Amino acid sequence: MSSTSSADTNGSKNYFVNFNQDSTSLAIGGKFGYKLFSLGSVDRLDQIYSNAAQDCCIVERLFNSSLVAMVSLTAPRKLKVCHFKKGSEICNYSYSNTILGVKLNRARVVVCLEESLYIHNIRDMKVLHTIRDTPPNPKGLCALSSTSENCYLAYPGSAAVGEVQIFDAMYLNAKLMIHAHDSPLAALAFGPNGIKIATASEKGTVIRVFSVTDGTKLFEFRRGVKRCVTISCLSFSTCGQFLACSSNTETVHIFKLEEPKDSPKKSVEETSWMGYFSTYLPTQVTGVFTQGRAFATAYLPFGGVKNVISIVYIQDGLRLLVATEDGLLYIYNFDSSEGGDLQLYKKYQLNDIGTDRPDGATEGEKNNTTVFTNSMRRWNRWDVFHGIVQISWSPWG
């Protein structure tokens, strides 16, 4: 769930926006640095941290920990891992090409380049495995399951068609290839337990959900038939019952992951008739009969802006969160039993929040000083879980 930042054009500002793995916090990055916000309330948006020491084009927070991985606009080939509460840099890595994506879970850090992926152990940041010579992936499309129990990595297996390569990031072996679409992939997302994956192609009309275990297609949804769109984000709800889809249009679609209720088994005559009828129709037409439609929809004020989305429980209510690359956060109330059109509850301008607060960066960060050594000395009093080793080196060196 990420949106890459870009330079200001004609006064418009494009930021990197991203939810953490369980959507309990939101990050925004740009030329101003980066900020982290807590999503514990819908009535206020609390700024956790602000760093104006340097620009930022990618920022990923590990759940609610102090660990943040970031990439700057001025050094797009370098990954920095920081402890933001202490205002310190733990380590940094340099790669051969521009970093297009970074994904985290409690076991792994994945760095995506255009034609390779690096898998790091999050405990000491050592490179465990490198997937080289992948099909060209200029958008850095990949997904990492948030759970370490089913620690899977997904990335495009082809640049010509919508093949998804599933890689076991824990045991470091290829698991399976899923032929998801006839067109190249545009979006990927794992379910909360890592056993389902949602896919969308560049055509943008059909969203499919597959089993990661054996590649079986579980659900197929139709976003629309009127026009082809560019899908920017797919996101499962934290409960796993819903799948949200956003695009370059003003509409966010939410699909319900369940079989239709009270659907009686078809009689032999009905089945035979449908089978006979379908033999005279193109596959694309017969497939429409089995595609689910949106359970709920939300409407943004305007389209054409990249965004990331999340469905999460906040204050005992299910909410749809939409963060846009122009720095806005929309919060919609979501009735999980009725669906329908969602009502906008709140809107926040992210870069205006906390601007009057003291800068969260330490003097060391402002002076671009680092606190790592090459002796791989462990960080004192570091969280028991993280145990990150302080190092600075290149996987290519």
DSSP line for 8-32: EETTEEE-EEEE-TTSSEEEEEETT
Task: Round the average pLDDT of the chain to a whole number and report it.
Answer: 84
CA atoms of 187 and 16, how far apart (whole Å): 17
Q: Which residue do the tokens 């409960």 mark?
A: 239
Instruction: Please tell me the predicted confidence (pLDDT) of residue 281.
Output: 52
Torsion of CA 257, 217, 163, 5, to 10 degrees: 0
Q: From CA 76, how far away is CA 5, in angstroms rounded?
A: 12
Would you tell me how many other CB atoms lie within 10 Å of the CB of residue 285?
Answer: 10
Q: Give the span between the Cα atoms of 53 and 64, in whole angstroms.
A: 22
Q: What is the pLDDT of residues 276-285, one digit of tens each?
A: 544 455 544 4
Residue 356, pLDDT score: 47
Distance CA 214, CA 175 (A): 9
The torsion defined by the Cα of 300, 340, 242 and 187, in degrees rounded to 10, comes to -40
Q: Do the strands 392-393 and 88-94 form a parallel or antiparallel pair, or are they unpaired?
A: parallel
CATH code of 22's domain:
2.130.10.10
Segment of 137-146, 261-270, 350-359 carrying the highest mean pLDDT = 137-146
Residue 44, pLDDT above cutoff 80 = yes
Q: Looking at beta carbons, which pairs linking 121-129 to residues 24 or more positions away fall under 8 Å? A: 122/62, 122/386, 122/388, 123/386, 123/387, 123/388, 124/387, 124/388, 124/389, 125/81, 125/90, 125/91, 125/93, 125/388, 125/389, 125/391, 126/389, 127/395, 128/172, 129/169, 129/172
Which range, of 189-193, 275-279, 314-318, averages the lowest pLDDT? 275-279
On the question of pLDDT at 309 being above 50, the answer is yes
**Residue-level length of the chain:** 397
pLDDT digits (tens, 9 = 90+) for 46-66: 999 999 878 999 999 999 999
Domain count, the chain: 1
Of residues 87 and 280, more confidently modeled: 87
- Give the tens place of pLDDT for each residue, 114-141: 999 999 999 999 999 999 999 999 999 9
* Contacts of 270 by beta carbon, 8 Å cutoff, 6+ apart: none
Amino acid letter for position 117: L
State the residue range of the domain holding 111.
2-393
- Using DSSP, state whether 276 is helix, strand or coil: helix
pLDDT band at 394 (very low <50, low <70, confident <90, very high): low
